[in-house]
Amino acid sequence: MAIPFRTVALIGRYKSRDVAAPLARLGRYLVRSGCTVLIDSETAASSGVGQFPVVSFDQIGKRADLAVILGGDGSLLSAARELAPHGTPLVGINQGRLGFTTDIALASMQESMAAILAGDFKAERRAMVDVRVRRGKAELIHTVGLNDAVVSKGATGRLIEMRVSIDGAFVYDLRSDGLIMSTPTGSTAYALSSNGPILHPGVSGFALVPICPHTLSNRPITIPDRCKVQIDMVSAIEAKLNVDGQPQADLLAGDRVCLRRSRHTVRFIHPPGYDYFEMLRVKLHWSESAL
């Protein structure tokens, strides 16, 4: 059977030398398996692994059939944002903590990659959120996120005020520590810790989750992912916009944050035996016996 992924790119945890040995070992295995192996330039610089052609993310997007991320969820989120315009499939090997999206254990990476190269895998597409910030007639920010977009208070600790609309219809005025718009992928991240719902990746929806709202009846809501969400900043002392945990903009009163489903999706490649509910059960410690 032909190998479905002939050119494989390796991407390691940001500025981590701990990934050097497993990255080199995986790269050598892939070469022996008949693959052309590329390595991300930042990964090569920080890990010292340089025996494979060193390329930029743009070149990975143009040349690679598969990108393997060795790190944690943050590493995969970063790679997803970079590679989404190219449609490059991603597979994650967990060297972080929780590993909601990096679902191959480091100890079994070779066996899992062998199965994937043999065509034994599950492919899944995940929605992304398109994020724009407008100040007057100017567009300050345009980016995408796989997990979430978060408007939050700054270091002063004062509540911020927002006017939230969906498809042009007024929803509420919100005074809170912030507001999360989460994709199904991000529903097990910041949104979950703010009492948001868990959304199965197959659900075509987003969750709007207030962070510590002043009015306790402001509850999380799930909306269809075809909706357009508009957040108008009313009071925004040191307010921030973060996308996938990365700072994007300092917000001022009068700024408008526009959120909608991105035209880009992320294609995950899962190893044999992957089960979403088993992942939740293990990561969230469900079904454990009481002490």
Which active-site residues does the annotation give? 73
- Token pair 């390691």 is found at 12
Give the angle subtended at the CA of 79 by the CAs of 283 and 19, to the nearest 5°.
70
% helix, strand, coil for the chain, step of 5: 25, 40, 35
Report which secondary-structure segment, H or E, holds 60. Answer: helix 57-63
Q: In which order are the strands placed within the sheet that holds 178-182?
A: 221-224, 205-211, 178-182, 148-152, 239-243, 246-251
Closest of 217, 151, 214, 153 to residue 179, by C-alpha: 151
CB 268 within 8 A of CB 143: no
- Which amino acid is residue 173, in one-letter code? D
What one-character DSSP code corresponds to residue 288? Answer: P
